[in-house]
Chain A
Amino acid sequence: MEAHNGQTNEVRKKAFFRPKVLLGVLAALVVVAAVAGGVLFQASKKPSFCATCHIIEPYYNSWKGGDLLAAKHAEAGVDCLDCHHKSTVAKIGEGINYLTGNYENPLKERDFSMEECLSCHKDDFAEAVAATDFGESNPHDSHLGEIECHLCHKMHRQSEVYCAQCHDFSWYKDLDKSWKTELAGS
């Protein structure tokens, strides 16, 4: 029995290691991986895919509705991947971060550079400068010079007026609900 079984296993092993079979299995694996990857890649383009992760979910929710700037981006047809993980490398990196546990919950706030914001908002900036000339001050043209957008504008939480660290300007009270307005008059 023993000898017979051993022999069979050996034969099977040998069959498995035959180049043709091995190649066939590998090819099948590659196809499966490619299809799965493709499906995953397609699926990941949908914001709802991001929400399947419970850590990402609250950020997805702030995009899907509510008063925050993320929701305003959603209204304008801007999806998660339009800002986050634009490149395949970044996507893979995020996967690695997830697998290795290299993340914090809640997630660390990302600081997008002015260039990143302006890649869509290029023409809006000059308009913003003109629109926020409140007389007593202009947050887009102040003594601080050119400062990063994200110091005030937050996507997934309430925006904060950077000026409010030192100044009480009367225009704070006219800001919409995407802003922390309790700062005004404090």
Chain B
Amino acid sequence: MIEKEIKRRDFLKGIATAGLAVAGVTALAGCGPKTTEGIKWNEEADVVVIGSGFAGLAAAIEAKNAGATVKVIEKMPTPGGNSIINGGDFAAAGTAMQKEQGVEDSPELMLQDMLKAGLYLNHVDKARIVCEQSKDALEWAINYLGAKFARLTYHGGHSVPRTHQTESASGSEVVNKMLAKLKELGVNVELRRKFVRFIQNEEGRVIGIEVRDGYKFGDEKSGTPVFIKAKKAVVLASGGFSQDVKMRTIHDPRLTEEFESTNQPGATGEALREALKIGAMDVHMDWIQLGPWASPDEKGFGYVPLFSERVIGYGPIINPKTGKRFVNETGNRKERADAIILIGVPVIHIADSYAVEKQVVPSTLEAGLKNGAIKKYNTLEEVAKTYNIPLQPFLAEIARWNSFVAKGKDDDFNCKIGKDAKPLGTPPFYVVRLWPKVHHCMGGLVTNTKAQVLNQDFEPIKGLYAAGEVMGGTHGAVRLGGVAMADCIVFGRIAGKEAANEEPWA
């Protein structure tokens, strides 16, 4: 089949070349020796990166700066993957911004938080590297890339505020700076090129990839085969599989298409599975995280996460059936999502205007009010009526919550009360409905601390690196908010540097 396709392509190329010759233009011929498979390489680079999110772009920048020639391929028509739509929170420990705000933090404390949330299933050596290098990675994003981080935020499951949010409250701030930097370095992301499979030589080393050039997402027949030689290594940074219903229901059968996802539509698992086909080892594949702060009243990630996660510790989350709280609002994502799913209907997160004005970025609030996912009410009675909450238990629960806020301690669920939180009471009251959406795959390929992908014999697969969400183990059972960006950039940079340092095979 492949042989056939190549022959047909060569035939077409012949026609094209003849046409070009008429026009007096010279065409580039395919380059390099043939492999045992008889593959004729169309293109080549020292390091070939699959995927253009945080991890892939970080790897590309580092590989290029280490002197390698680099290609980045992306199957979608726009670059950035999930990273360009993420909430822009970067977890890092012991940073200047934390010091300025009097937050005492350390890589060790961050590691303890990660392990606790991860149910101690984390691959500790790799989690430790993320924590220890998080500060450096953030500084690289600020100083080298020129990304702007405006505020220190808090995410459930962390001991202290340690997520550094971009000015625009979006990961696109970092992705766009990475793309600009790569352009400066002479590397362009090659869009609509879908990775098809790895090409290995006799000794099993990954020596290149097959892609479909001109691929249109969703049309698997689109595009034409192109073979790209990777003289040093391939870095797989293809992301997770939250949008791959078939694959995610294999690993967690509860996550049917009934559940929406916060992810971009291209977050599917075929690239990861190609790595498994050549003998890579996987881990934690059934730990798929749901975002407990997502809203059924808007598409995708939306604005509600940037509202709800900002007002945890300032306003309670209520079960509309009972009018009562049911979970630690500042618990990790899994505790919260599981508790909401158990209730079976969307739950209510409420905060007053003091908390919202203090905590929520104005543009986020405005956008959420405009799309209708954030609502505003003048009285608690009105809230109860709108959401069919039994009024008296609801008012009693708000009073109880306010008593906890006043003394700074939650006796019921041990929610971390915000440092400057006030009892809820200043109208208007802002309300969102919460229903979890599939958000992040903790599981993925097993890599060592050099980001090399390991095979079923625990040995590195030569010429293959992985970073970002496609790599598993770092987060264990639950990833904490903001640690994706840290993980992607720390290990993306490692993968890029290591890949560039490989001895070329050709």
Binding site for B on A (CB under 8 A): 87, 89, 92-93, 96, 111, 136-137, 143-145, 147-148, 151, 162, 165-170
Contacts and interface: CB of A to CB of B under 8 A. Distances in A.
A74 B23 CA distance: 30
8 contacts: A93-B19, A136-B367, A143-B172, A145-B176, A166-B300, A166-B301, A168-B299, A170-B370
Contacts of B176: 143, 145
Contacts of A165: 264-265, 299-300
Interface stretch (B78-86, B337-345, B438-446, B493-501): B78-86
Interface string B248-272: 0000000000000000110000000
Contacts of A166: 85, 264, 299-302
B301 A143 contact: no
B299 A167 contact: yes
B80 A136 contact: no
B22 interface: yes
Contact of A148 (B23, B77, B175, B299): B77
A89 B19 contact: yes
B78 A168 contact: no
A162 B214 CA distance: 18
Given A166-B85, A166-B300, A147 B15 contact: no
Interface in B169-188: 170, 172, 175-176, 179
Contact of A168 (B85, B170, B175, B298): B298
Contacts of A143: 84-85, 168, 170, 172, 176
B22 A89 contact: yes
Given A136-B370, A166-B85, A144 B301 contact: no
B172 A144 contact: yes
B172 A151 contact: no
B77 A145 contact: no
Contact of A144 (B19, B20, B84): B84
Contacts of A93: 15, 19
Contacts of B298: 168
B224 to A, nearest CB: 12
B172 A145 contact: yes
Nearest to A93: B19
Contacts of A137: 367
A39 B391 CA distance: 84
Given A136-B366, A143-B85, A168-B299, A151 B78 contact: yes
A143 to B, nearest CB: 4
Interface in B15-42: 15, 19-20, 22-23
Given A136-B366, A147-B77, A165-B300, A92 B19 contact: yes
Question: Which 4 pairs across A and B sit closest by C-beta, in order of nearness?
Answer: A143-B172, A166-B300, A145-B176, A89-B23
B371 interface: yes
Nearest to B170: A143
B438 to A, nearest CB: 14
Given A111-B214, A166-B299, 18 more contacts: A87-B23, A93-B15, A136-B366, A136-B367, A136-B370, A144-B84, A145-B80, A145-B84, A145-B175, A145-B179, A151-B77, A165-B300, A166-B264, A166-B300, A166-B301, A166-B302, A169-B371, A170-B370
Contact of A147 (B78, B168, B170, B370): B78
A165 B20 CA distance: 39
User: Which of B168, B175, B298, B299 gathers most chain A CB within 10 Å?
Assistant: B299
Contacts of A148: 77
Contacts of A144: 78, 80, 84, 172
A87 B172 CA distance: 39
A124 to B, nearest CB: 21
A168 B299 CA distance: 7
B262 to A, nearest CB: 9
Contacts of A169: 371
B287 to A, nearest CB: 25
Contacts of B179: 145
A151 B78 CA distance: 9
A170 B79 CA distance: 25
Interface string B112-140: 00000000000000000000000000000
A129 to B, nearest CB: 16
A100 to B, nearest CB: 9
Nearest to A148: B77
A120 B189 CA distance: 26
A164 B425 CA distance: 36
A158 to B, nearest CB: 17
User: Which of B20, B85, B264 gathers most chain A CB within 10 Å?
Assistant: B85
